[in-house]
Amino acid sequence: MNITETTQDNVSRVELEGRFDANTCGTVEQFIREKIKEGMLQFVLNMEKVPFIASAGLRVVLVFARELQMNKGNLCLANLQPNVLRVFEISGLKNAMRIFDDMESAARSFND
Amino acid sequence: MQCVFLMIWKVPPEASTIDIANSCFPNLQFYEIIMQRLSFDFPASTVNLAKIGELAAHAGQKAGFSNVNIGDIQVAIDEACTNTIIHGLEKDSTRMFQLIIQWDAGKIEILIHETGVSFDPESIGLPDIEAPLEDRSAGGLGIYLVRKLMDEVKYSTDEDGVKTLYMLKRVK
């Protein structure tokens, strides 16, 4: 899993590249945990280059989305591939999470 | 006195099993079902999950599944193997599990054999998938996905303690 990040207007834009499974979820978890420790509260995960997600990946986004929401922060997802979106849908997380078609819509949602 | 009968069937070399069956039972019609089978021994490490996903996609394509259903099979096999690696074999990469993927034109069957920690999948509560984010539990999703995405899922343990997870999905 490759992770690249840029920060703009206090929003951390995290681009993930690779499978998001039990083998790679720890890398993402550690990265976001570090950013939260640095004081970051708003995240958009760009999932454009994530071809596969398993429940281990769902668990990471669910835990951080819930934790950030309780601390007046936010975690959004953008650019999900159809099969990845399907896993969110079957798990009932499509409606529970903030999911956007593209990065700009996701970033704009923080101003609403 | 003991008698031993030896029965020898003389079969022309080009005769197939179907030809033999049809000649023996002329009143019945036999069809040949060719089942392909892959069998692997993997160490209990999550490093192999990507490779397992590729194998499942290959078998799913050969069996005639749609791309959406191949994705479903990949999720189910990933979740099942992850449970085996993490819970059954406690991520001890010196221990192995056997993965069998078999298919014909119409279905795929996946079997995982291992001798790890006992696990009762029925004891895992199903997640409340309607719950709002703040009430959602992060556990139980893997087994939920396996049951949701495959047509049949069975767990068994034989007398030697070998546990088997069997999953089946049919082409629709």
CA distance B75 to B150: 10
Percent of chain B with pLDDT over 90: 61
CA distance A41 to A64: 10
CA distance B101 to B75: 14
Q: Residue B71 is part of which domain span?
A: 35-170
Residue B18 belongs to a domain: no
Contact A83 B71 (CB under 8 A): yes
CA distance B88 to B43: 12
Whether B68 and chain A come into contact, CB under 8 Å, resolves to yes
Residue B1 has pLDDT above 60, yes or no: no
pLDDT of residue A85: 97
Residue B11 belongs to a domain: no
- pLDDT band of residue B140 (cuts 50, 70, 90) is confident
Count the domains in chain B.
1
Contacts of A65 in chain B (CB under 8 A): 133
Q: What are the structural domains of chain A?
A: 2-111 (3.30.750.24)
Model pLDDT for residues A48-76, shown as the tens digit of each residue: 999 999 999 999 999 999 999 999 999 99
Average pLDDT over residues B4-12: 57
Nearest to B141 by CA among B157, B153, B126, B131: B126
* CA dist A9 → A5, A32, A71, A94, B102 (Å): 13, 17, 18, 26, 52
| ipTM value | 0.94
Specify the CATH number for the domain of residue B164: 3.30.565.10
Encode burial over B21-45: b for 16+ CB neighbours within 10 A, e otherwise: eeeeeeeeeeeeeeeeeeeeebebe
Whether A93 and chain B come into contact, CB under 8 Å, resolves to yes
Contacts of A63 in chain B (CB under 8 A): 138
Model pLDDT for residues B87-132, shown as the tens digit of each residue: 999 999 999 999 999 999 899 999 999 998 877 767 777 788 788 8
Is pTM beyond 0.90? Reply is no
Residue B14 has pLDDT above 70, yes or no: no
Residue B29 belongs to a domain: no
Residue B7 belongs to a domain: no
Beta A74-78 vs A42-49: how paired, if at all? Answer: parallel
If contacts are CB pairs under 8 Å, which of residues 31-60 in chain A contact chain B? 52, 54-56, 58-59
On whether the CB atoms of residues B88 and B117 are closer than 8 A, the answer is yes
CA distance A1 to A21: 10
- Whose structure tokens read 């996946």? B110
- pLDDT band of residue B32 (cuts 50, 70, 90) is low
Q: Residues, chain B, total?
A: 172
Q: Which residue among A23, A58, A93 places its CB closest to the CB of B46?
A: A23
Model pLDDT for residues A92-108, shown as the tens digit of each residue: 999 999 999 999 999 88
